[in-house]
Amino acid sequence: MEHHSLDPYPEPKDKSPLYINEPWLIDKSLLEYPRHREPDEKEDNIRIYVPMDLNKDAILRRLDNIIGLYGEAREDNEIEFSIDVTHSVYF
């Protein structure tokens, strides 16, 4: 069984975190449905925040991963490539 680090103190000790309240950046299925700015009101809904480092090296690593996944950008992979690049740069 894999164990995950659940940190009860989500804020870094030396900086304030940046919360991006755009679930569609992680959940691509939301691109197919109207966007909701507020959390889902369903009783069983739990919104989580996943930490991610955002810096030049991290962005370049993600872009390299996308190129490894799709190869060069072409007409037949344009949409998926574009969506993943947008997620890598803005998220």
Range with the poorest average pLDDT among 13-17, 47-51, 54-58: 13-17
Q: What is the phi/psi pair of residue 38, to 5°?
A: -95, 150
Q: What is the phi/psi pair of residue 85, to 5°?
A: -65, -45
Residues 6+ apart with CB under 8 A from 74: none
Q: Return the pLDDT at 41.
A: 78
Say which residue, 73 or 14, is predicted with more confidence: 73
Say which residue, 67 or 10, is predicted with more confidence: 67
